[in-house]
Chains A and B, each alone.
Chain A
Amino acid sequence: MNFQKELDARGLNCPLPILKTKKSLADMASGEVLKVVSTDCGSVKDMQAFAKQTGNELLEQSEANGEYTFFMKKK
Chain B
Amino acid sequence: MTKKMAIIATKGTLDMAYPPFILGSTAAALGYDVQIFFTFYGLQLLKKDLSDVKISPLANPAMPMPVPMPVLVQVLPGMESMATMMMKDKLKKKGVASLEELRNLCQEADVKFVACQMTVDLFEFDKKDFIDGIEFGGAATFMEFAGDTDICLFV
The interface of chain A, by Cβ under 8 A from chain B, is: 11-16, 18-19, 21-22, 39-40, 50, 53-54
Contact = CB atoms under 8 A, between A and B. Distances in A.
Contacts of B97: 12-13, 15-16
Interface of B: 22, 25-26, 29-31, 94-97, 105, 109
A13 B94 contact: yes
A15 B31 contact: no
Nearest to B97: A16
Nearest to A21: B29
Contacts, number: 35
B95 A15 contact: no
Contacts of B96: 13-14, 16
Contact of A54 (B22, B25, B31, B94): B31
Contacts of B26: 15, 18-19
A15 B22 contact: yes
A10 B30 CA distance: 21
